[in-house]
Amino acid sequence: MEPVECRSVIRFLYLKGRTPQETFDEMKETYGDNAPSYDLVKHWHREFKHGRKSVETAPRPGRPTSAIDEASVHQVESAILEDRRIIIRQIAQDVMTSTGSVETIIHDDLHMHKVSARWIPRLLTPFQKRERVECSRMNLEMCQEDESKFFKRLITQDKTWVHHYDPETKAQSMQ
């Protein structure tokens, strides 16, 4: 039974002049195990007696359930793209949020992780995907032209990272 439906039935029976016990008994008879507890029926009878008209959940004042919103995600992303060596504490100060929220944004929303003191995307960008397709096409064409010559030049290894650029050493990236 949905909470709004439950409150509606309680309000209806309250307006008909039923007591909390009568309301509870009638709901228990109708809904069986899905009926609300007697304490809940008493609570809503009291609310309606004190003038409450709505059966909807009232908005609660206070802090939001999460500090992460679209604006903070955008601020964190722009801070990282501006300086890929920026540290989480600095981002948290700039965005004025906690370091835990910044970590959540970076890992869950932006899908980035830190490599050699730089924040990089975990997924390939569209440009990187196109580059891989082009490289594969060129290799396929070279293989089709002269297969024996192609395989003589081919070097294979297991679990090796091949970069199209010289990655910085940790000492260089710490500067």
For the chain, what are the domain ranges? 3-49, 70-121
- What's the predicted TM-score (pTM) here? 0.39
Fold of 3-49: Arc Repressor Mutant, subunit A (1.10.10)
The DSSP result for 48-96, as a single string, is: HHTT----SPPPPPSS-S-S--HHHHHHHHHHHHH-TT--HHHHHHHHT
Per-residue pLDDT of the chain in tens (175 residues, 90 and over written 9): 788 899 999 999 999 999 999 999 999 999 888 899 999 999 999 999 999 888 888 777 776 667 788 889 999 999 988 888 888 999 999 988 889 999 999 888 888 877 666 666 667 777 888 888 898 899 889 889 888 888 887 766 666 565 555 666 666 666 5
